[in-house]
Structure 1
Amino acid sequence: MSAGSDLISLIARRQNLDDYKQKHWTGSFAEYLDLVKRDPKVTRTAYQRLYDMILSKGTEEIVVNKEKLLQYKFFEDPDANGEDAIFGLERTLISLVNILKSAAHGYGTERRVLLLHGPVGSSKSTLARLIKKGIERYSKIEEGRLFTYGWKDDGDGAEEYLECPMHEEPLHLIPPEHRAEIVSLLTDEEIPRVYDLKIEGDLCPFCRQMFNERMERYNGDWSRVVQDVRVRRLILSEQDRIGIGTFQPKDEKNQDATELTGDINYRKIAEYGTESDPRAFNFDGEFNIANRGVIEFIEVLKLDVAFLYDLLGASQEHKIKPKKFAQTDIDEVIIGHTNEPEYKRLQSNEFMEALRDRTVKIDVPYVTRLQDEIQIYQKDYNERKVRGKRLAPHTLEVAAMWAVLTRLEEPKNAGLTLMQKLKLYNGKTLPGFTEDNIKELREESEREGMLGISPRYVQDKISNALVAHPTERSINPFMVLNELETGLKHHSLINSDETRKHYRHLLSLVKEEYEDIVKNEVQRAIAADEDALTRLCGNYIDNVKAYTQREKVKNKYTGQTEEPDERLMRSIEEKIDIPESRKDDFRREIMNYIGALALDGKKFDYRTNERLQKALELKLFQDQKDTIKLTTLVSSVVDKDTQEKIDIVKARLIRNYGYDEDSATDVLNYVASIFARGDVKRGGH
């Protein structure tokens, strides 16, 4: 057997033919009515199905700056490869889902265009793409089923069916005068339901012609007409243009309303004799094919004014007007997106007033939480994608830090810097600021996230850094920061020198912050001698215990009792900025903490107290840095003893902080050059 045949057999064995049959179910109209009685969800509107699809992935409650928020797991792109996952837009997504919920229950927003509004690169298109992909996947599973129908063709004897070109709901076949009674008979009170069963909308022009011809043929016997109908399962597909449409405006000379509502098929006019025969019409405009699903309008406000009438009718009346035909019912979610300049133009254009009145604006800002921005870049620059290269620790972090700083507004509180504001938003605690302050900061900065640098610009510059250093195995933060700075000269969306100057200033802030981060890591790597830290901690605790209990300490070497070593205790406490006036409180706090652990039968370990661990590490670093003489790293000659100590520090950087051999060497050299300048701040940062 050949390798090709083996592969074919392999795929054949893995096929699920039962699943294929379910997805391609066909049946009579009577069988469909039975199905509706058992499972009324199959008749949901486009808004109801979209809302249920989002909820089907589940939710979880998260707390962001003391505020409880509902997170919808659907937007994490769980069924795909995570390419379209959305980070940090919880409030935006809550607004969107609330609007969809209102529309699903018929409270009015189903008659509006959902307008995603935000700066370039703020994930408006990603959000629309997620919704389109999601509704496509949902239609393939049992929970998301929907159905359409076709007419038996009276052609050459072979049993063929002419499909409804608008993929409409089969219940439209029930005459309006009988709908209320049929709905009551189809409603089983014992079956739980979220939405009431309704039959809204009439047959499309094509199906109306098929219906009327058969009514005439069967002398008005409706029961015989529906025997000519075959109902089938409908799978939505953007590729096949079924239930998912996308419209992108072109230049005004090339815009044509038929792209939205279909056009006459001139080849068929000869066959059917008239332009107004629906069989001589292609119902293949974006509004037609998106029926039962979603239509996305890219840059919706660039539409020609003539197109807006189609859009207004589609949103408000749920009807479109194909050329030569009566108004035709549609059932679809209309999502448009636009950027800030286009939206401002809408506000100042009186012709657009009707559109403004029929849109629900959903702001999609840039991310303002550092951790979320880092995740955006991690999605694109991970080991799987950046082959043969490594990104040194903090490379994506510094790029994200700069991007977020460009989006933040200067705090009105004079005691708070922009960098501190960034840290507060990212969940760090700062002396004198509580999580309640964060709410105030957000409220005083209404435009925050609607201006600043796009993630796309940062992604482009990270890509530049990766290709601009072909011989380097490791890309470090400075390479990326340099690319970000160089690119500002030619950035097409920065239209003032003042803004450019501000962005350069922010880059210098980021460099300072990175300097602090790496100094701290190297300091901790030097002081990461577990035994020495444990000894220092034991010594400190013995002295604190004696001090708080007004006792003396026994000197381990001389055996004599002595006063607690105030100098030792203060040299540790000063590392974490404990003032003289607060030392007693801090020492009592430590003893209470140890006492509480003892009551639970647990032993004290300095690693469980983050502040104390930091103080001990900085103290040990201060004691040891002179023995290592890091400054000798910048010279070409290093003695064997120093080299061994440096190798230990390097190994700790690799093990504890994610460096590799090259980046650990780079960062040690960099920190050594800082020490050589005599630029080490007391106590790190």
Structure 2
Amino acid sequence: MRRSTHLSFRRKEAAWLPWEKEGDFRMAKGSDIVALLTERQNLEQFRKKNWQGSFLEYLDLVAENPSIVRNAFQRCYDMILGYGVEQYEESREMRTHYRFFDDPLEGGRDAIFGLRDAQTSLVNALKSAANGYGIEKRVLLLHGPVGSSKSTMARLLKRGVERYSLQDEGALYSLGWVLPGDDNVHWCPMNEEPLHLIPDAQRAEVAERFNADAPALRYPVKITGDLCPYCRFMYNEALQQKGGDWGSVIKDIRVRRILLSEQDRVGIGTFQPKDEKNQDSTELTGDINYRKIAEFGTDSDPRAFNFDGEFNVANRGIVEFIEVLKLDVAFLYDLLGASQEHKVKPKKFAQTDIDEVILGHTNEPEYRRLQNNEFMEALRDRTVKIDVPYVTRLTDEIKIYEKDYNSERVKGKHIAPHTIEMAAMWAILTRLEEPKNANLTLMQKLKLYDGKSLPGFTEENVKELKSQTKREGMLGISPRYVQDKISNALVAHPDATSINPFMVMNQLEAGLKNHSLITSEEQRDHYRELLEVVKEEYENIVKNEVQRAIAADEEAMQRLCSNYIDNVKAYTQREKVKNKFTGQYEEPDERLMRSIEEKIDIPDSRKDDFRREIMNYIGALSIDGKRFDYKTNERLYKALQLKLFEDQKDSIKLTSLVSNVIDQDTQEKIDVVKGRLIRDYGYDDESATDVLNFVASIFARGDVKN
């Protein structure tokens, strides 16, 4: 059962190009395109996003909507909730899925499949921080193996807060200074909250008034943080000029709405490790502008300083540290104050307040190094680790590859059924730990994780299997490796119109020899063995498909079913069956009934129960005014398919494909089967021929499923 709540977002317009909606621009003339774009401008939205006003007008805005003074964590958390949440049940527990991670506004381009636990842990950390429970004083560290979607999560968050600032519900503002004789507004270089202008002694009273007017606020208004060095300098200068009259000072204050943008370096920062010789801490906290020292006379004048470090530009938003634990120790020290105290130390200036989400991500080796380094205990203590493992559910892994390899993306090539599935299956197997239950194979464990049912295993058993693992999903093959090999298979066979599972599995195996992350021959051999397991599973799948395609003669299936039901009815009611050819009444055909029932492992001792079960099922349908359809009874349908396949396979002579000696009648029957594979299972002509040849070779070995 699923219950969803959703606050829909309209399609977002760029700040510099406020179009009302998208359109089809395929026109012949440039003048037509210009006319179309001009017509679709939304100037009202443009004015909203570029609003400017006085400090007094800003206070009116806050009184009307106090949520505009939320901190960065609160905005980030509300942004995620704005995309909607969905409740679902798993292992008898209610879970929450956050639609934000489906990347709906980009058509799922960066959608994260699976990893529900990691997503929930991240959102819970943001929720805790938004409510001021202590997590706001920590670095959020996404930890996991290479290619496990850590960077994608960070990218989604950055893009999310960027879009959120474009919305009315995500609006935020900053301040600027008007100097005597200067018409230009000198805006705060760190885009700080305008309420920082309110003196410390009056902040509690002002906040209380805002909160009294809006008692239902999710987050009560709190005025925290001091002016940045630049604004503090400008404030003190203005206060001196106005003789200490605060009311006169704020008359020269301007307030504007700011739009977060990674490209414009407003509210979103990204820091990436470089060579130690080419990187210093000024990249985080800003640097002196030496050209302006001559103008202002000293290097300690904030007007001669560039507040353009990543911590500075990310104020009011989010800063991402790529491979954060590869940073030099000196940089990691800057994280301590930034996370715990929400302050940074620019050169020549006092500690400066910041308001931003600090998000880092790292791989396993770097994290182990952090754990083993006793000098980094302070950083460990200020870190909230969020594990982002590989996907361990087959359905989710398939979605990862289908996003890039589908009919729209792969031009001129048909991807045969199960090609993506087999590659994904092998990737999952490399990530799973051997089950401690001796009666369970790794393949069966994969199927249980994927929601399939196995006799003797319940949801509680699956939950227990997961709890017994130590590092499941933190090791194994990366999705990137599989994607690379699928790409190789697409270009390695230029004459083929279709690629099949064996082409991809051959690429997967060949690449193991030079895989840089495989550290031992034992591990390499294990991965090769798992490929053999996948090939065996593929054989079973395609044999089953060909069997169903051969047995897909609806008229023959209906005749067989009717014959079976007539005999079962006569058997259960101790009657005789009328022979359609002779007209004579005969005993029920026990041989026919058992030949069908044995196909689904009904023992002789249980045949009476099964037959009564079928008749009771038909009777219940009749009472409800419904007709019996063999397709609605899964076990009987499977038994009829296998029986019909056994009866027809010899007449089709599929094994003649191996010898290439095929008479016209047999060829016509094989073409019918091929047509069913194309129609019902998604094959094209080439891949259907390939799979028939493959299954024929199995039959030729006598390896026919009983």
TM-score (norm: length of structure 2): 0.94
Partner of 1:96: 122
Give unpaired runs (5+ residues) of structure 2: 1-26
**Structure 1 residue 547 displacement after superposition:** 2.7
Once the two structures are superposed, the pairs formed by residues 201-212 of structure 1 within 5 Å of their partners are 201-212=225-236
**Structure 1 residue 410 displacement after superposition:** 0.8
Give yes or no for contact 1:255–1:304 (8 Å, CA) kept in 2.
no
Alignment of 1:476 with 2:508, yes or no, is no
**Structure 1 residue 578 displacement after superposition:** 2.3
Give yes or no for contact 2:211–2:217 (8 Å, CA) kept in 1.
no
**Structure 1 residue 565 displacement after superposition:** 2.1
Distance 1:190 1:246 in 2: 36
Greater displacement, 219-228 / 547-556 = 547-556
Which of 661, 666, 678 is matched with 2:685 structurally? 661
Alignment of 1:3 with 2:29, yes or no, is yes
Distance 2:39 2:539 in 1: 58
Distance 1:42 1:126 in 2: 28
Alignment of 1:604 with 2:633, yes or no, is no
Alignment of 1:313 with 2:337, yes or no, is yes
Greater displacement, 103-112 / 246-255 = 246-255
Alignment of 1:379 with 2:412, yes or no, is no
The verdict on how the C-alpha distance between 1:527 and 1:275 changes in structure 2, with shifts beyond 3 A counting, is same
**Structure 1 residue 427 displacement after superposition:** 1.1
Distance 1:578 1:363 in 2: 47
Give yes or no for contact 1:407–1:453 (8 Å, CA) kept in 2.
yes
Partner of 1:49: 75
Q: 1:654 is aligned with what amino acid?
A: I
Which of 247, 255, 265 is matched with 1:241 structurally? 265
Give unpaired runs (5+ residues) of structure 1: none
Residue 380 of structure 1 aligns to a residue whose secondary structure is: coil
Residue 376 of structure 2 aligns to a residue whose secondary structure is: helix
Alignment of 1:60 with 2:86, yes or no, is yes
Alignment of 1:677 with 2:691, yes or no, is no
The verdict on how the C-alpha distance between 1:326 and 1:601 changes in structure 2, with shifts beyond 3 A counting, is same
**Structure 1 residue 190 displacement after superposition:** 5.0
Distance 1:101 1:27 in 2: 32
Greater displacement, 32-41 / 571-580 = 571-580
Q: 2:142 is aligned with what amino acid?
A: L
Distance 1:582 1:210 in 2: 91
Q: 1:524 is aligned with what amino acid?
A: R
Distance 1:373 1:400 in 2: 6
Residue 116 of structure 1 aligns to a residue whose secondary structure is: strand
- CA distances 1:338-361 after superposition (whole Å, capped 9, x unpaired): 111111111110111001100011
Distance 1:571 1:153 in 2: 97
**Structure 1 residue 642 displacement after superposition:** 1.1
Residue 535 of structure 1 aligns to a residue whose secondary structure is: helix
Q: 1:102 is aligned with what amino acid?
A: S
Which of 388, 397, 417 is matched with 1:393 structurally? 417
Partner of 1:419: 443
Once the two structures are superposed, the pairs formed by residues 252-291 of structure 1 within 5 Å of their partners are 252-291=276-315
- CA distances 1:234-257 after superposition (whole Å, capped 9, x unpaired): 110000011111111112222300
Distance 2:28 2:124 in 1: 56
Distance 2:673 2:215 in 1: 68
Q: 2:411 is aligned with what amino acid?
A: R
Which of 489, 502, 505 is matched with 1:465 structurally? 489
Residue 323 of structure 1 aligns to a residue whose secondary structure is: coil
Greater displacement, 139-148 / 354-363 = 139-148
Which of 79, 84, 98 is matched with 2:105 structurally? 79
Partner of 1:520: 544
Q: 1:24 is aligned with what amino acid?
A: N
Distance 1:584 1:111 in 2: 69
- CA distances 1:450-501 after superposition (whole Å, capped 9, x unpaired): 1100000000000111111111111111000000000000000001000000
Partner of 1:628: 652
Residue 181 of structure 1 aligns to a residue whose secondary structure is: helix
Aligned residues with identical type, % of pairs: 73
**Structure 1 residue 666 displacement after superposition:** 1.0
Residue 490 of structure 1 aligns to a residue whose secondary structure is: coil
Residue 71 of structure 1 aligns to a residue whose secondary structure is: strand
Greater displacement, 464-473 / 263-272 = 464-473
**Structure 1 residue 282 displacement after superposition:** 0.3
Distance 1:443 1:401 in 2: 22
Give yes or no for contact 1:65–1:427 (8 Å, CA) kept in 2.
no
Once the two structures are superposed, the pairs formed by residues 198-237 of structure 1 within 5 Å of their partners are 198-237=222-261
Distance 1:581 1:52 in 2: 62
Q: 1:653 is aligned with what amino acid?
A: L
Q: 1:123 is aligned with what amino acid?
A: S
Distance 2:160 2:142 in 1: 18
Q: 1:658 is aligned with what amino acid?
A: G
Residue 427 of structure 1 aligns to a residue whose secondary structure is: coil
Q: 2:255 is aligned with what amino acid?
A: V
Distance 1:163 1:384 in 2: 47
CA RMSD of aligned residues (A): 1.4
Partner of 1:352: 376
Give yes or no for contact 1:367–1:404 (8 Å, CA) kept in 2.
yes
Greater displacement, 531-540 / 509-518 = 531-540
Q: How many residues align?
A: 680
**Structure 1 residue 584 displacement after superposition:** 2.8
The verdict on how the C-alpha distance between 1:434 and 1:586 changes in structure 2, with shifts beyond 3 A counting, is farther
- CA distances 1:13-36 after superposition (whole Å, capped 9, x unpaired): 122111111111111111111111
Residue 79 of structure 1 aligns to a residue whose secondary structure is: helix
Partner of 2:201: 177
Distance 2:657 2:392 in 1: 39
